[in-house]
Structure 1
Amino acid sequence: MSDASSVIAVIDDLHRESEELDRLVGELSEERWALGTPAAGWSVAHQIAHLAWTDHSALLAVTDAEAFAKEVEKALASPDGFVDEGAETGAAQPPALLLAGWREGRTALETALRAAPAGTRFPWYGPPMSAASVATGRLMETWAHGQDVADALGVVREPTDRLKHVVRIGVRARDFAFAVHGLAAPAEEFRVELDSPSGEMWAYGPADAAQRVTGPALDFCLLVTQRAHRADLAVRAAGPDTDRWLDIAQSFAGPPGAGREPKETGR
């Protein structure tokens, strides 16, 4: 697959992931928009508002670097609150307006990413990113916050092979997870072998690595996005460093997340 085809493929998957979440919330009553999700203090409306807010930031990064730089300044001025503030502002809107804004914003971002010249890198809150990286990050967030929405609504989603994008970020973020916990990253590479929803095995790292992680891709994604506690998942570590990693893994930027509490009856 060419680089251009790879970019189109991840944007297509982002579109599908967004549409799946849209089907969950598109017909909700106002009362159900107000349902609490597993994220403390965040309702279904907060989850969608956060996605809309981040889509807007990504659109600025892709289309207006100067305007995005001002957003970064706002983030630096309120590093502990700017994400919650964006969600609160969006969630205060009537659900119909929030939904329309999210749809419009994600469509505009998708259009901008498809039109981006090959090789372009865009500013972000961390290192600059390619169009494929922007789309992959948006897919991960859409899937993770969509999981919060699904949990609030009591819906069990059917996993798809779009999870491969989330897995890839989670694997690549290994050293970052150690760093944000003030730990030195292991010198050796890990082997990660995960069973995909379609039955294929996704493998990362040297085949002869001494330390390994195995399990379902879905469970790995729930772990690295901190949507479920490790005790409730079938992800297994072989080796002390991989065992430590599974306790602290995160695929998202920023400080360590609080994660989820284990269920009363874990696996």
Structure 2
Amino acid sequence: MGELLADLCAETDDLDAVVRGLEPAAWELPTPADGWAVRDQISHLAWFDDAATVAATDPDGFRAARAAFADRGASAVDELAAASRGLACDRLHDWFRAARERSLEAFARLEATARLPWYGPDMSAASFVTARLMETWAHGQDVADALGVVRIPTARLRHVATLGVRAMPYGFTVRGLEPPADPVRVELTLPDGSPWTAGPLGAANVIRGTALDFCLLVVRRRHLDDTFLDVRGAAARAWTEVAQAFAGPPGKGRARLGSGVSQGATRWGGFRPA
């Protein structure tokens, strides 16, 4: 938990550094998510950080709130974003930082194996923190794309990759599809050049490439054709079409932009991780 929380803090600091000092007009810039501006990406993180704190400190209260949230249907997340658009940008920024601090404090008191409710299946506290890191990185990508900022990939991508692999069946089941029976091997290169692998050695279905490209794919921030991933086998190809590391209904993902776009558009300019 200590390592995970430290990495979540570092991911938070990177995103915080990007939005700190933005002019009010920059908060209103559209992001690649349809209908969402920079401000909506940040309010989304803040709202769900507060929900995460409730899940960690009052699981029964969270379950009751979750039922009411589910009754609002598929538009609930967009409605939350719209409800926060009246906040001044400085207050929104303060909310994001305070909500994240509250959630970090709550999770620091938990054992890694503690089971917690969420909007998808229940998760261990360790998986929960990993999911918050993934969400921060993914929504941070939307902010970066909106602002024209480029990011330096970090070793923290290993957490996103882990979650992406574990969520492989979910991407199928959330779409009413049967996950393939054949195993898929994932062979990635982390930003420091070290290897990261998952799945059985010798599997006929393989995905190879950089951790950055794989992570962008599983959080649905890049189309497969805009990566340099090498995908071999029918099961691997089917997974790339539905890969989804986050809970909730599937979105439409990103449209194809042009081969290799992700390699040149994902480095934080002027911001280096701790």
If the length of structure 2 is used for normalisation, what is the TM-score?
0.92
Match of 2:217 among 220, 223, 238: 223
8 Å CA contact retained: 1:57, 1:71: no
Distance (whole Å) between structure 2 residues aligned to residue 239 and residue 186 of structure 1: 11
User: What amino acid sits opposite 2:22 in the alignment?
Assistant: L
1:86 counterpart = 2:80: yes
Identity of aligned residues (%): 46
Give 5+ residue unaligned stretches, structure 1: 1-6
3-state SS, counterpart of residue 91 of structure 1: coil
Partner of 2:244 in structure 1? 250
- 2:190 is aligned to 196
What is the distance in 2 between the residues matched to 1:179 and 1:101? Answer: 34
- For residue 90 of structure 1, report the CA deviation from its aligned partner: 2.3
Q: Among 148, 152, 163, which residue is 2:146 paired with?
A: 152
Shift of residue 91, structure 1, vs aligned partner: 3.0
| Residue among 253, 258, 262 paired with 1:259 | 253
**Structure 2, unaligned stretches of length 5 or more?**
261-274
The aligned counterpart of 1:3 is none
Matches within 5 A, 1:1-267: 7-117=1-111, 119-263=113-257, 265-267=258-260
* Distance in structure 1 (CA, Å) of the matches to 2:111 and 2:218: 31
Measure the CA separation in 2 of the matches of 1:244 and 1:122: 31
Residue 265 of structure 2 corresponds to which residue in structure 1? none
Deviation at 1:199, TM superposition (A): 0.4
On the 8 A contact 1:123/1:129 being kept in 2, the answer is: yes
CA distance in 2, matches of 1:144, 1:126: 18
Separation of aligned partners in 2, 1:177 and 1:201 = 25
The 1:28–1:212 alpha-carbon spacing in structure 2 relative to 1, beyond 3 Å, is same
CA contact (8 A) 1:53 1:90 kept: no
1:75 offset after TM fit, Å?
1.6
For residue 204 of structure 1, report the CA deviation from its aligned partner: 0.4
- After superposition, give the CA deviation of every residue in 1:93-136 in whole Å (9 maximum; x if it has no partner): 00111111111110011011111245321111222222211110
Larger RCO (CA within 8 A; separation ≥ 6)? 2
- What SS does the aligned partner of 1:194 have? strand
2:84 aligned counterpart, secondary structure: helix
Task: Tell me the alpha carbon deviations over residues 19-40 of structure 1, each in whole angstroms, 9 at most, x when there is no partner.
Answer: 0000000110101011110101
Q: Hey, what's the Cα distance between the residues in 2 that align with 1:184 and 1:63?
A: 35
- Aligned-partner Cα distance in 2 for 1:120–1:248: 29
Taking only aligned residues, the RMSD between alpha carbons, in angstroms, comes to 1.2
Residues 117/224 of structure 1: CA separation in 2 closer, same or farther (3 Å cut): closer
Q: Secondary structure at the match of 1:103?
A: helix
Instruction: Tell me which moved more, 7-16 or 84-93.
Output: 84-93
Structure 2 SS opposite 1:237: strand
Assess if the C-alpha contact under 8 Å between 1:56 and 1:105 holds in 2. yes
Secondary structure at the aligned position of 1:106 is classed as helix
Report the number of matched residues. 260
Q: Report the TM-score when normalising by structure 1.
A: 0.94
Kept after mapping to 1: 8 A contact 2:119/2:248: no
Give the aligned residue type for 2:91. L
